[in-house]
Structure 1
Amino acid sequence: MRPMGGDQVQQAVGHALPLLRTVVDRDWEGTKAGRLDWNCRETAVHVASAHLAYAGQLAGRATEAYVPFYLVLDDGTDTAGVLDVLETTGALLAATVRTTPRDVRAFHPYPFRFADREGFAAMGVTEVLLHTHDIAEGFGLTYEPPAELCQDILGRLFPQVRPGPEPWPTLLWATGRGDLPGRAPVTEWRWSNPLVIPAERLSLHGVTPAAAADLAAGGTGGFEWIEGGPVEGTREGAGMICRLYETGTLRAEWGMYALVRHQDGRALGALGFHSAPDEEGRTEIGYDLVEGARGHGYMTEALRALADWARGREDVRALFAVVDKDNAASQGVVGRAGFTRVSDDVSHRVRADVSDDGELFAYELRLRS
């Protein structure tokens, strides 16, 4: 998996500008940008403003709101000048992303109030792709960005979108700019940066479909792991996320989380949900740790943090964990996190192969009645 960073921001800008400059002498103020309410000039300025704002968030380490400044062009700036500004702000965002440490997160309002450097880079690329399309549509031009960029964006910012046969038409459909056979038109949409849940010694980092695909294929998922990681259970869990994504049933916050230790930024293991809560508000969790991280209470801490987050949700009432009968360590983890062993009739409702006569136990944590 290639990281989403400054190179991708500059790739997107560098691909778009030659096309936009072919119509620099047209009427940008009098031409509506595709389906937007803005004209083409306003749309280009918006992209430049977004890039500047994203760079400011990362550089200023803003945590509560946007840094209070905005882009103002000199009076009399023509269209060529606007495009020069767009190129410059793209370079500023790219440089800021490249020089921002991996663990920095800055305010962004949707959906979880923060994004990291890859998130801001991905949003910056998306601004370029979508709004270049809008401007091109206004002027009757044909525009198609690199397919790899579109696939990167979908796998990071649109986890709820079932992949289509081609990434660019899928991205256009997902943002209300096109149609896909067999899918209803999209009238409202938002991108989704992954959730990060803090704990005392570590944080739970949401694993995007792009990262899950890399993990399932034998990669790192973009995380730096302690020696011995990631383990097979993590790769299997990542494969489960990929299958949910491919069927369009993934709800990212009910997916998989990598456990990242604060002291060194390294991943220790993974924890997550098998699916979103069912109609009765129940969902199963699974977890594992790299061997070198076991015995230090990391998983108990992570599981408590995940349960605390779930308590704030209206759509979940109980968490379940299924543990091998001979796995005393794992049974200790769920016990310390507040789970209790449940009876056979409830066990069978969690998973058909769970039984007192079998090799597995089921544990439950009631979050609300």
Structure 2
Amino acid sequence: MRAMSGTQVTEAVRGCVTTLRAAADRDWTAVRAGSLEWDCHATALHVAECLLAYAGNLAGHARDAYVPFELRLDDGVGNDGLLHVLETTGALLAAAVNTAAPGDRAFHPYPFRSADREGFAAMGVVEVLLHTHDLAAGLGLAYTPPEELAESVLTWLFPHVQPGPEAWPTLLWATGRGELAGRPKVDSWRWHNNLVISAERLTLTGLRPAAARDLRLGGDGGFTWLGGAPYEGTRDAAGFMVKAYEAGVHRPDFGVFTLVRAADGLAVGGIGFHGTPDAEGRVELGYDLVPEARGQGYATEAVRALTAWAIARDDVHTVVATVEADNAPSQRVLARAGFHRAEAKQEEAAREDHGMESGQRLYVYTG
């Protein structure tokens, strides 16, 4: 799995500073940064402000708003000084990311009001890559970041964007800075940090495409697993998610979640949706646990938490789950989570309309 850490932040900032240093003798206030309304000086300062803000929020464990401080340059600071500030703020974010604990999250407004250390690293990298592109365009400089760096931020922060033939042109298209054959022009965009849902003893941590791909290929997805490895069902679910991502139909809100035990940070299972809500607001979930975590109520807790999150949405009216007729433990999990066994005609409709296999039972939750 391609990492997203302080190393990538440092790499991105180094490429930015190396590129811009070639034009350090010019007046950056007199040149617009590509298609932006800002001039090049204001754009470079904005990048430094973002890097510092992300470092401050992550290191300060900000919860409801940005840490209340701002970056101000000393009077008379030239472009060389500004580039030094970029290097310094990049180093601060890299250090904050590298020293944060795996489960640490801090405030960021979009879309779920928090991000983890990988999210802050990816946001910093995106700011640097895109605005270096803008600055280079304004100053007439050549700039192309490493392809692996662009691909990493796409798989960590743009799970809703279908991969293109090459990562850097895809990232430029996805952020309204370029064209991509066969795709409409992008006029507005946002990145997408992963969804995390808290339960009593668990954290349901939304999988990003990078982590799902690693799980599908036999890796750990960046998690430490109770028993040493995930259950095979989690790998299968990750594989289906990767296929949806590659096809451009993945919706991160209705993806796969790793169940992380709050007490020790160990992953104990997976849960997720089999797709997005249909026209009637019906969505199906599935789940599994590693053998060492079974019989302790974790599955019930996870199903309750994910079902409550889903049913609170305007586009979900019914949550369903299918289970084998001889799987009594899973049936008890669903019953404890508030599901009820469907009527015979509902099960027949599920077989005809939704492909439910013969011998499975349908459980329904309507709130």
Provide closer, same or farther for how the CA distance between residues 20 and 350 of structure 1 changes in structure 2, counting only shifts above 3 A.
farther
- Please say if residues 311 and 366 of structure 2, whose CA atoms lie closer than 8 Å, have aligned partners that are also in contact: no
8 Å Cα contact 1:228/1:290 also seen in 2: no
Encode CA deviations 1:170-196: one digit per residue, 9 max, x unaligned. Answer: 000000000001100001110010011
Sort the Cα spacing of 1:351 and 1:122 in 2 relative to 1 into closer, same or farther, 3 A.
farther
1:211 aligns with 2:240: no
**Is 2:2–2:210's contact at 8 Å kept on the other side of the alignment?**
no
Runs of 4+ aligned residues of structure 1 deviating over 4 Å after TM superposition are none
Instruction: Return the offset for 1:348.
Output: 4.5
Mapped partners of 1:364, 1:140: distance in 2: 60
Contact 1:53/1:67, CA 8 A, preserved across alignment? yes
2:356 matched residue in structure 1: 354
RMSD between superposed Cα atoms in Å: 1.1
Give CA-to-partner distance per residue, 1:208-251, whole Å, 9 cap, x none: 01110000000011111111421110000000100110111111
Equivalent residues, number: 365
CA distance in 2, matches of 1:210, 1:292: 26
Per-residue CA deviation, residues 62-85 of structure 1 (Å, 9 max, x unaligned), is 101000001000000111111110
- Do the aligned partners of 1:259 and 1:268 also contact (CA within 8 Å) in 2? yes
Give the structure 2 partner of residue 334 of structure 1.
Answer: 334
The alpha-carbon deviation at position 140 of structure 1 amounts to 2.2
Residue of structure 1 in register with 2:312 after alignment:
312
Cα 1:27–1:278 shift into 2, 3 Å: same
Q: Which amino acid aligns with 1:143?
A: Y
SS in 2 for 1:29: helix
What one-letter code is carried by the residue in structure 2 that aligns with 1:157?
L
Alignment of 1:250-269 (within 5 A): 250-269=250-269
Matched AA of 2:251: R
Amino acid at match of 2:109: P
Contact 1:4 1:118 in 2 (8 A): yes
| Aligned mates of 2:346, 2:23 — CA distance in 1 | 66
In structure 1, what is the equivalent of residue 75 of structure 2? 75
Q: SS state of the match for residue 258, structure 1? A: strand
Alignment map for 1:271-310 (pairs within 5 Å): 271-310=271-310
Specify whether residues 348 and 159 from structure 1 end up closer, same or farther in structure 2 by C-alpha distance, changes over 3 A only. farther
Residue 345 of structure 1, CA deviation: 3.6
Q: TM-score, normalised by structure 2?
A: 0.97
Q: Which runs of 5+ in 1 are unaligned?
A: none
Q: TM-score, normalised by structure 1?
A: 0.97
Partner of 2:105: 105
Report the alpha carbon displacement of residue 349 of structure 1 after superposing the two structures with TM.
Answer: 4.3
Shift of 1:2: 3.1
How far residue 141 of structure 1 moved from its aligned partner, in angstroms, is: 2.0
Structure 1 residue aligned with 2:231: 231
AA paired with 1:94? A
Preserved CA contact (<8 Å) 2:261 2:267: yes
C-alpha deviation, 1:351, in angstroms: 4.9
Query: Residues 6 and 97 of structure 1 are in contact (CA less than 8 Å); yes or no, is this contact kept in structure 2?
Result: yes
Assess, with a 3 A threshold, how the Cα gap between structure 1 residues 140 and 302 changes in structure 2: closer, same or farther.
Answer: same
Q: Which residue identity is paired with 1:198? A: S
